[in-house]
Chains A and B, each alone.
Chain A
Amino acid sequence: MIGPRTFLEYQNYRYLKVSLVLLLLSIGVYAFDSPPGGRSGSSWTGYGLGTISAAIIFWLMWVGVRKRDYRSTGAPLKGWVSAHVYLGTSLLLLVPLHSAFEFGMNVHTLAFALMCVVIFSGILGVAFYALVPTSMTRNRNNITLDAMLERIAEIDAECRIAAGGLPDYYARAVVTSIDETHIGGGFREQLSGKDPSCGTSRALKSLRTSDIDLDGEGKGQERKLVELIARKELLLKQIRKDVRFKGLLDLWLIFHVPFAFATCAALIVHIFVVFWYH
């Protein structure tokens, strides 16, 4: 690949290596540990791994702060994200090691479950980050969103002029196309990338099925109008696709961030419960 290297490769996979070493060490300690009363979260090994995991979780939360600290003079954000991804994923094993694979219907396992949602949404995010940007660039085809919207505004203006000399039927179609076309909408509409009730599609359909007899000049105008509306429809498809991609890139965050806060809350409860009731 030409160009910058991805955050996953940061410093030659430094944080993948760090995470693997951490995991191997933890597994080693766990394997050789035989505390009195059997392995559990309440053994010294359990406490140790728990403390490390909790520290990692709070540190992972700090990325939200670092991301907004634009004057930071420390490591670049992509380094943070790299570490975030690898250390975060390693929690999937670290935490069960901490609890000695004990699960139950309690606040402790709730914290773990919430954490898993966070981690899997994160993995989904990494996957989307890897796949969507390229499709997005291809779809944009060197045109900015603003330029597309501007072009649509121009087409609308041209349509009004073109419909000027034609029967009202055409003017109504143009008005439908202009007034009843919407981009965006709710999250579901955005993600679908389609609008079944799009005014422009309806206008195009009505123009194509028109049976009004026109003279030579009128026919030319009609053809021009159909061409304009068809072009607008293409642009709309392109824009909706773009909006869909943008939605996909944000989708995982809807789960990731709130669940991260929930995990933190559950974690604090978990720690409190462990030390208060034991």
Chain B
Amino acid sequence: MSMRATLTVMSGLPNQAGQVFSVGAETTTLGRGLNCDIQLPDQSISRLHAEVVWEGDALFLVHKSQVNRTLINGEEIQGRVPLSGGEEIQLADQVVLRLKIESAEAEAESPVTDASGAPAPLSDATELGSAEAPQALESEPAAPPPASPPAQRPAPASAPASAPGPLSVSAPAPASVPAPGSAPAALSQPAAPVPPTPAVPPTPPAEPTPSIARPVRGKGEVTSIEDLLEGGTQHHVRPVSEDTPPPDPSSIKLVVIGAGPAGIAAGVRAAERKIEHTLLERSVLADTIVKYQKGKLVMAEPPQLPLQADLKMIFEEAIREQVIEWWATAASEAGTNLVEATEVLAIEGEKGNFTINLRGPNGAGSLQATHIVLSIGVQGDLRKFGVPGDDQPWVTYQLDDPGAYEDKRVVVVGVGDAGIENATALAENGNEVTIVNRRDEIDRAKPMNKAAIEAKIKSGEINYLTNASADRFESDGAVFKTKDGSEVKVEADLVIGRLGATPPRSFLEGLGVEFPSADKEAIPDVSEKYESNVPGIYMVGALVGYPLIKNCMNQGFEVVEHILGQPVKPADEPVIAQKIEAIGGSVTEMLHRIQETVPTLSPLTNVQLRTLMFESTFRVEEAGKTIYKRADFDNTFFSILEGEVELAYLDNSDPMVPEDLRVERKTLRGQGQFFGEDGLISGRRRGETVTTKSRCILIETPRNTMSKLTRSVEDVNRVIDASYVTSALATLFPTLAPNVRKRLAYRSETLMHRAGEVIFAEGDEPDGLHLVRRGTAEVYKKHEGVEEQIDSIRAGSTLGELAVLHPGRLRTATARAGVDCETVLFPVDIILQYVESEREIREYLERKEQEFIIADARRQHGRGTMMWLQKAGGKEATDLLMIDETLCVRCDNCEKACAETHGGVSRLKREAGATYMTSAGSALHLPTACQHCENPKCMTDCPPDALHRDPNGEVWINDETCIGCGNCEAYCPYDVIKMAKVDNDPGPGLLRRLLFPKRAVKAGDEPKPADGDAAVVKKAVKCDLCRELPAKKSGAPRAACVASCPTGAIVRIDPGEYVDEIYERQG
């Protein structure tokens, strides 16, 4: 074969972005299945999705999946299609691979793994050798003696050399670096030297893995679990602004794109500095805030962050109108050259000589610039129809005020939340509304919106057109083409296209801006001077991860100073300085110290690291201090800057042993390492107690900050993931040799399952042992032909043990993701191998089998109750409010108690929610109230970080910092968060209430404030387990609803414990 081909993962697989697979064999299979040559672990992909087939020098793509589609350059294909190279192959909805075909001569230079063989030689032997290579392999015959001394390690990894690896179990910290080849005694030694031979395959030759295509490992990339754990991460190339002499201000032509807070600040500063500049805005100044409702309060978060003192632009907490006025005044007083209603079409050229092509109200044009500042935010461009006639004035993409239309014929295209909200508002205002759906189901809207629109469609209030897309616009209406090819004309006075938005990523990538990962949440990287990897293009504000207004304004100011070559101290400097006061040194010194000492954090950009420092707490703790306890519910992440801590966790290998009799096992972590990662990943209670062994300096980072980082910085994510797997294995198999654990961890892969998706099915060939890492998996078994749930497996436990214990046995049950769930899969081949050789693994699996048989028998009782509880929403609850309706006398004292302890607004709706009559005669009812989920979705995106989780598990909203944005309300799948006026006045005393009773108000029902009444800010409210009331003696929260029930019908339960109680009482 004189030609060769590679496939590169372009998008859709965040953990594999950029990986290159070789298409060497005659037939290379692509799919999710483990036996595929190119295995793509995405649930939307079929097990065998497609094949790439060579016939001589010709290459063909064969679509194999029965269910999911395959596209080439956006065109769906069927059967067999010839390939010429350069195509983008899309599998199912999101995974895109790019095909490259080249002559075989190039092969030698390309560091590519052949799909049918072991990894090809790596291009940079020395680099790799000096990073940490797999020590687990030292016991393997293939590993040659190590040669490179530890001193050759790259700088960031040098710190942990004096500390034990996170894997060491009960091992004292070795005082010095051991001699080369001293494994396995030194297996827990992070700095143990490594075999330099780059050609060593990551798996021993004995393992039957050759059919699995392995990712290519390029320069500096990690090669093993040890590498990951001990800091051998690859740092993607950070944009660095070169220290050039300050440019002549008169030569600068600055163009700032986007007049939000960052853009205006840059414009104002540029005008002040008298440099030639233009501030471009596609809409109007402060467009986002202009779109707020009238009188909305704009919050100034975080309170401790000051604005740059020299910035001549006012901002503090105020109503929308005031803020807009301040900023407009600031821009005009400074003499900012603002150009509104002008869209940027393209940017060409390079630093010092950019050409920006524009389209404004007077047509197209262009603009020259030496420097460009992008402050375009993250909302992106609204998608347009792009069909003939869409330039007519009544074809729009936004609806600012539904009240402005009456008795009009309106067509809303798109059934996302925006489209539905527009359509319902317009219909309620007496317009004749038609809503158009491109498909036949409304599946992208919030359940509430979906229900609302369906009701209106059913009652005939809104006309509904399905499977139709806009074809053209005529003078009096829109023509749609339906799926079957026919045309439907809808007469209209107004057409609103709600077609979603294109994120700015593709625009940025078109400019050459690089993103650190394929994850859709990834943010582009900038230097400490806000310069991107494209010289001359600077980026500030929400675009680079700063959604808060004050941050944006400061950056707008700072970026202009940086362009001028003026020294400027970031505005957060004093805040961070105060945080590190007890440690000493300047902020910059601390920044460098962290970069040098903590390998996990070293891949962060300076700006990211500063944010982390700003949001973290620096703790100096003497020896013997307990940092957190096992079963605590907090989930901050700790990095060790100095000192050593001891982690004590329970030996959970035998679930039959009661918790209080389990043996405690200990491990140490030292400088440069981290702990608390399982809270970060699983959101579960702490699994270990952590105590300082010496004086420690710890960086405690909130979970939110850390998860944002793991989403955008792939390396941090990988290190933490790998550490999680090995620690989880250590609690399951405490006496297993560390190298076996590491091998297992190395061969593992993380799979994501969306809620309801099958992880494996009864009768399937087993793929391996799953460890639930996040969320809950449900196990179902067929009883007399009917599938019934028999178990639910929570994070930290394993799944699918039976089929891997007995070779040749098929799956005996079906596992599904209860909620969005992640499992770590240990492939069947390696598990089977260790079942033979490792007594501990075999015994664990045998115990699990026994447990399963006993549990299955017991579960015949109370099964119905459990299934209902799971279905009704108890899946991820840590604290479930439940009413036994056979005892509930409907007095609503619970709601009254809730309202009285929460400023008159009840956070609980007694009547709403599901009820289940048990066979034992109880009527269990789950009222609508916060269940304090294991992985609280409400906490996903809280801009001011006002959602917190306490050690006892309660999730609460700080109404001081809540800005009322409503994100948490939208994220909550159980509809328990409401926006309401928060009133912290405890209200009249008991006597007054007794004499003058007042009716309780339910959340959402309180009187609406008059339009424009700025004094009333609605904030998010929900059950906070009455955190203001003193806790009970047992430490449990004192919930007023429970304490105020006259008959004891209402209880708070831990669903897990409750299910056990059901069995005990019934079985």
Contact = CB atoms under 8 A, between A and B. Distances in A.
A129 B889 contact: yes
Interface in A200-257: 246, 249
Given A6-B887, A7-B1048, A70-B901, A76 B1043 contact: yes
B359 interface: no
Nearest to B924: A3
A3 B1045 contact: no
B967 interface: no
B991 to A, nearest CB: 9
A158 interface: yes
Nearest to B1028: A71
A73 B1030 contact: yes
B474 to A, nearest CB: 32
A10 B1047 CA distance: 9
Interface in B444-465: 455, 459-460
A10 B997 CA distance: 29
A161 interface: yes
Interface string A10-43: 1000000000000000000000000000000000
B922 A7 contact: no
Given A6-B887, A137-B925, A77 B882 contact: no
Interface stretch (A110-118, A141-149, A179-187): A141-149
A133 B459 contact: no
A71 B891 CA distance: 18
A95 interface: no
Interface stretch (B98-106, B185-193, B911-919): B911-919
Contacts of A64: 994
B915 A140 contact: yes
Contact of B921 (A1, A69, A78, A142): A1
Interface stretch (B202-210, B266-274, B393-401, B892-900): B892-900
A78 B1047 contact: yes
Given A70-B1043, A73-B1029, A137-B923, 5 more contacts: A3-B887, A65-B994, A133-B890, A144-B912, A157-B459
A142 B893 CA distance: 21
Given A3-B922, A133-B890, A72 B1043 contact: yes
Nearest to A76: B1043
A6 B865 CA distance: 19
Contacts of A78: 1045-1048
A72 B897 CA distance: 10
B1040 A70 contact: yes
A18 B175 CA distance: 67
B990 interface: yes
Contacts of B1049: 4, 133
A69 B989 CA distance: 9
A138 interface: yes
Given A4-B1051, A70-B896, A158-B459, A136 B1045 contact: no
Of the listed residues A64, A76, A136, A142, the one surrounded by the most CB atoms of chain B closer than 10 A to its CB is: A76
Interface in B676-691: none
Nearest to B1066: A2
Given A10-B1048, A67-B1044, A2 B911 contact: no
A78 B1040 CA distance: 12
Interface of A: 1-7, 10, 64-65, 67-73, 76-78, 80-81, 129, 132-134, 136-138, 140, 142, 144-146, 154, 157-158, 161, 246, 249
B1065 interface: yes
A134 B920 CA distance: 13
B915 A67 contact: no
Contact of A69 (B885, B917, B990, B1030): B990
Given A2-B862, A68-B994, A81 B1047 contact: yes
B1062 interface: yes
B1046 A77 contact: yes
Nearest to A80: B1046
Contacts of A72: 1043
Nearest to B1049: A4
Contacts of B924: 2-3
Nearest to A66: B1044
A224 B917 CA distance: 34
B888 A133 contact: yes
A71 B1043 CA distance: 9
Contacts of B1048: 4-7, 10, 76, 78
B990 A65 contact: yes
A77 B1043 contact: yes
Contacts of B1043: 70, 72, 76-77
Contact of A2 (B896, B920, B1047): B920
A250 B1061 CA distance: 33
Contact of A138 (B460, B865, B917, B1029): B917
Given A73-B1030, A136-B890, A142-B915, A1 B922 contact: yes
Contact of B1050 (A4, A65, A134): A4
Given A3-B884, A7-B1047, A10-B1048, A145 B1065 contact: no
Nearest to A84: B1046
21 contacts: A3-B884, A4-B1048, A4-B1049, A6-B1047, A7-B887, A7-B1046, A7-B1047, A64-B994, A68-B993, A69-B990, A70-B896, A70-B897, A71-B1029, A73-B1038, A76-B1044, A76-B1045, A77-B1043, A78-B1047, A133-B887, A133-B890, A161-B460
A154 B887 CA distance: 33
A77 B1044 contact: yes
Contact of B890 (A6, A161, A249): A249
Contacts of A246: 890
Nearest to B986: A71
Nearest to B887: A6
B886 interface: yes
Interface in B395-448: none
Contacts of B1065: 1-2
A23 B489 CA distance: 87
Contacts of A132: 889
B9 interface: no
B532 to A, nearest CB: 54
Given A133-B890, A138-B917, A3 B882 contact: yes
Nearest to A132: B889
Contacts of B459: 154, 157-158
Interface in B868-894: 882, 884-891, 893
B885 A136 contact: yes
B496 interface: no
B1042 interface: yes
A257 to B, nearest CB: 13
Given A70-B1044, A157-B459, A4 B893 contact: no
B610 to A, nearest CB: 43
Nearest to B1051: A4
Contact of A249 (B889, B901, B923, B1044): B889
A64 to B, nearest CB: 8
A73 B1039 CA distance: 10
A197 B153 CA distance: 92
Contacts of B917: 137-138
A80 to B, nearest CB: 8
A2 B1044 contact: no
A86 B1030 CA distance: 29
**Among A71, A81, A136, A138, residue most surrounded by chain B Cβ atoms (within 10 Å):** A71
B452 to A, nearest CB: 12
B871 to A, nearest CB: 12
A81 B993 CA distance: 21
A132 B887 CA distance: 9
Interface in B348-390: none
- A10, A69, A138, A157, most chain B CB atoms within 10 A: A69
A270 B993 CA distance: 30
A68 B865 contact: no
Contacts of A157: 459
A80 B1043 CA distance: 10
A152 to B, nearest CB: 14
B887 A77 contact: no
